[in-house]
Structure 1
Amino acid sequence: MATIDYYFATLSPYCYLAGQRLEEVAAKYGADINYKPFDLITAFSRTGGTLPKDRHISRIEYRAQAMPREARKQGMPFNLQPAHWPTNGAPAAYAFIAAQNAGGGDLGKLAHVITRSVWADEKDIAQDDVVRACLTEAGFDPGLADSGMLVGAETYARNLEEAVDAGVFGAPFYIVEDQRFWGQDKLEDLDLHLAGKL
């Protein structure tokens, strides 16, 4: 049975636009998903990336066209300039890690609900009440927002190191066996790889 290491960022619009298609692909092949929330901003600085605000105007303009197009293609609500972005994505990541350790809910849904909160629902995922609502919607105990902060911080930092060591430089990033797939637009390639066709 294959295991997919999924490196995602709670603030990434592209992780939001992936929806829950990764979970659908994994279910199709009986693959496990190893969720690894990580600090994408720090990863950018360590892997030659550039923050969106510092990119050349050509890249900024393209991003402004491409993301809404992808949202329309997927039938997803999307706000190119959400009210609470950027914000501190760490609290939501720590809560995700606490939920991962506790079990009892749907991690794929939780990852999606967190990113949806930013890019569609105009919510600040740095706020405790928002994180609690995300946990509840995905079937987890909302009290997990208050627990496991130290473990969450340690795991979050370790996930960053593992990401950089594994060749991850963006999000969403999927690794299965020795194959790397960057971006929600590579989910079809991941599907074909798991089918043995690519």
Structure 2
Amino acid sequence: MAHIDYYFTTLSPWAYLCGDRVEKIAAKHGATITYKPLDIGQLFARTGGTLPKDRHPSRMEYRMQELLRARSKTGLPLTPQPAFWPTNGAPAAYAIIAAQKAGGGDMGKLVQAIFRACWAEEKDIAQDDVVRAALEEGGFDPKLADSGLLSGAEIYGANLEEAVGAGVFGSPFFIVDGDQRFWGQDRLDDLDAHLAGDL
């Protein structure tokens, strides 16, 4: 059985634009997924990336065009410049970590609810009520937003270290069985083909 390590920041529009395709691809091939939220600012600092606010205007103009094209291709609602972005993505990440540890719910739905709150619903994912609503939508106890904060912070940091060591440099980033790497929502077809043994 194949395994996918899914690295992402809770603030990533590109991870949001994956929709539920990652989960569908995994189910199709009987693969498992471990969700590994991390601090993208620290990841960029250690792997040569640049935060959007520090990028050249030409890069930001192109990013906007790509976001609009991806929105059209995926059919997902997306506000290219949401009201609460950037914000503190750590509280949502800690909740994802706590939910994954607790089990019993639908991780895909939880993660997608957090992305959607930021990129389609104009909500601040740093706010407790937003995180609790996402947990509930995923079938998890909303109280997980308050529990395991210390261990969540530790795992959040560990995810970053693991990501750097594994060659991750962006979000979303998928590693299959610790070897094959796929960066971006536009590489999901390649991930699918790899799991099928065609690539």
Does TM-score exceed 0.5, indicating one fold?
Answer: yes
The match for 1:12 is 12
**3-state SS of paired residue (2:66):** helix
Structure 1 position 148, deviation (Å): 0.2
The match for 2:190 is 189
Letter in 2 for 1:161: E
Q: For 1:140 and 1:50, locate their aligned partners in 2 and report how far apart those are by CA, in whole Å.
A: 34
Structure 1 position 176, deviation (Å): 0.6
Structure 1 position 139, deviation (Å): 0.7
Query: How many aligned positions are there?
Result: 198
Q: For 2:138 and 2:72, locate their aligned partners in 1 and report how far apart those are by CA, in whole Å.
A: 24
Unaligned runs of 5+ in 1: none
The match for 2:21 is 21
Q: For 1:180 and 1:165, locate their aligned partners in 2 and report how far apart those are by CA, in whole Å.
A: 13
Q: TM-score, normalised by structure 1?
A: 0.99
**3-state SS of paired residue (2:67):** helix
Q: Does 1:144 align with 2:144?
A: yes
Aligned ranges for residues 32-43 of structure 1 at < 5 Å? 32-43=32-43
Aligned ranges for residues 89-104 of structure 1 at < 5 Å? 89-104=89-104
Q: For 1:87 and 1:101, locate their aligned partners in 2 and report how far apart those are by CA, in whole Å.
A: 25
The percentage of counterpart residues that share the same residue type is 70
Unaligned runs of 5+ in 2: none
Letter in 2 for 1:181: F
Structure 1 position 56, deviation (Å): 1.3
Q: TM-score, normalised by structure 2?
A: 0.98
Structure 1 position 68, deviation (Å): 1.4
Q: Does 1:179 align with 2:180?
A: yes
Structure 1 position 138, deviation (Å): 0.9
Structure 1 position 80, deviation (Å): 0.7
- Give CA deviations for 1:60-115 in whole Å, capped at 9, x if unaligned: 00011110110111111100110000000000000111111111110011111101
- Give CA deviations for 1:101-159 in whole Å, capped at 9, x if unaligned: 11111001111110111000000010000000010111111011010000100000000
Note the aligned Cα RMSD (angstroms): 0.6
Q: For 1:137 and 1:147, locate their aligned partners in 2 and report how far apart those are by CA, in whole Å.
A: 18
Q: For 1:51 and 1:135, locate their aligned partners in 2 and report how far apart those are by CA, in whole Å.
A: 28
